[in-house]
């Protein structure tokens, strides 16, 4: 085979890799589109609700949509690496918005509306999701001792149950973290909601940071650090 043919063959093999459609990419794309739809809904519903914080919610979301469309126009692809094209970009923005709103206690009542749910429900649901993700990242590394894995999963399940029961009872996140979670016979710092938001989430951030420093690479860890850092920040604001 001639050198030109070899070069052509290499081009044929390597070029499609950036645009190859796989089941994994399709799953990531679906997740991205669902998160985008929820985020856009939050912008619209919050604006229509007359929330005093509607500009702080709607404007960042509108800018996110504009930059996402611009990235697509420039040849980017959703669910691919990139600041606004990566799959969890919408989740990052939502967490950032919640961090901003929880700086001011007055905004925790009607700061943002999403999927017809009020701010207290959104805060508790977000804390639940971040706790589940933290448990997953803490309990699944290879080589982890079985007993550590089981303890982490048990604590995660205990924390998730506290948040879930709080959602069912309509208990706001600040109250859940201050001792009004389920099983109130134990101190607040041993209740599920507090352990999930104020212990597991910061520990998960610390783990991602330590591992990334040990391997001298941020790939695969930075996105998790962002999620757990913002989740812990929300907890600090709420407390």
pLDDT tens-digit map of 183-224: 778 888 899 999 999 999 999 999 999 999 988 777 788 999
Q: Mark whether 113 and 127 lie in a shared domain.
A: no
In a domain, 162, yes or no: yes
In a domain, 42, yes or no: yes
Q: Mark whether 87 and 134 lie in a shared domain.
A: no
Q: Mark whether 157 and 203 lie in a shared domain.
A: yes
pLDDT tens sequence across 28-41: 889 999 999 999 99
Nearest-angstrom CA–CA distance, 140 and 52: 42
Q: Mark whether 106 and 173 lie in a shared domain.
A: no
In a domain, 80, yes or no: yes
Domain holding 176, by residue range, is 119-239
Q: Mark whether 127 and 104 lie in a shared domain.
A: no
pLDDT of the residue at 10: 44
| DSSP 8-state symbol, 108 | G
Nearest-angstrom CA–CA distance, 204 and 206: 5
Least confident of 50-59, 107-116, 183-192: 107-116
pLDDT of the residue at 217: 77
Q: Could you tell me which residues are beta bridge partners of residue 117?
A: 114
Q: Mark whether 108 and 154 lie in a shared domain.
A: no
Contact residues for 134 (Cβ-Cβ < 8 A; gap 6+): 156, 196, 200, 201, 203, 204, 228, 231
pLDDT band, very low/low/confident/very high, at 106 (cuts 50, 70, 90): low
Q: Mark whether 90 and 129 lie in a shared domain.
A: no
Ranges 9-13, 140-144, 180-184, 189-193, most confident: 189-193
Q: Is 60 exceeded by the pLDDT of residue 8?
A: no
Contact residues for 41 (Cβ-Cβ < 8 A; gap 6+): 114, 115
Place of tokens 């104020």: 198
pLDDT band, very low/low/confident/very high, at 109 (cuts 50, 70, 90): low
* 98 vs 12: which has the higher pLDDT: 98
Q: Mark whether 57 and 154 lie in a shared domain.
A: no
For residues 139 and 152, is the Cβ–Cβ distance under 8 A?
yes
In a domain, 2, yes or no: no
Q: What are phi and psi of 220, to 5 degrees?
A: 85, -10
pLDDT of the residue at 61: 96
Q: Mark whether 106 and 126 lie in a shared domain.
A: no
Q: Mark whether 94 and 162 lie in a shared domain.
A: no
Mean pLDDT of 61-65: 96
* Among 117, 138, 169, residue at a domain's last position: 117
Into how many domains does the chain fold?
Answer: 2
In a domain, 108, yes or no: yes
* Among 117, 145, 160, residue at a domain's last position: 117
Burial class (CB in 10 A: 0-12, 13-18, 19+), 74: exposed
Q: Is 60 exceeded by the pLDDT of residue 2?
A: no
Provide the percentage of residues in the chain whose pLDDT is more than 90. 61
pTM of the model: 0.85
In a domain, 6, yes or no: no
Contact residues for 211 (Cβ-Cβ < 8 A; gap 6+): 221
Q: How many residues does the chain have?
A: 239
In a domain, 3, yes or no: no
Q: Mark whether 26 and 61 lie in a shared domain.
A: yes
Q: Mark whether 84 and 48 lie in a shared domain.
A: yes
């Amino acid at each position: 085979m001639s050198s030109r043919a070899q070069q052509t063959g290499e081009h044929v093999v390597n070029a499609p890799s950036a645009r190859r459609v796989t089941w994994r990419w399709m799953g990531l794309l679906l997740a991205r589109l669902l998160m985008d739809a929820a985020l856009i809904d939050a912008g619209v519903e919050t604006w229509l609700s007359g929330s005093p914080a509607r500009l702080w919610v709607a404007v960042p979301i509108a800018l996110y949509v504009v930059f996402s469309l611009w990235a697509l126009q420039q040849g980017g692809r959703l669910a691919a690496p990139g600041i606004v094209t990566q799959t969890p970009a919408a989740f990052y923005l939502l967490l950032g918005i919640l961090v901003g709103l929880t700086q001011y206690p007055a905004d925790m009542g009607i700061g943002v509306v999403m999927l017809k749910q009020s701010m207290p429900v959104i805060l508790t649901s977000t804390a639940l999701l971040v706790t589940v993700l933290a448990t997953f990242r803490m309990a699944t590394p290879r080589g982890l001792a079985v007993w550590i894995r089981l303890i982490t999963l048990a604590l995660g399940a205990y924390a998730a149950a506290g948040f879930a029961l709080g959602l069912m009872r309509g208990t706001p996140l600040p109250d859940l973290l201050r001792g009004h979670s389920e099983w109130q016979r134990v101190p607040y710092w041993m209740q599920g909601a507090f352990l999930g938001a104020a212990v597991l989430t910061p520990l998960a951030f610390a783990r991602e940071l330590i591992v990334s420093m040990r391997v001298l690479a941020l790939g695969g860890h930075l996105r998790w650090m962002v999620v757990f850092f913002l989740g812990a920040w929300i907890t600090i604001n709420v407390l």
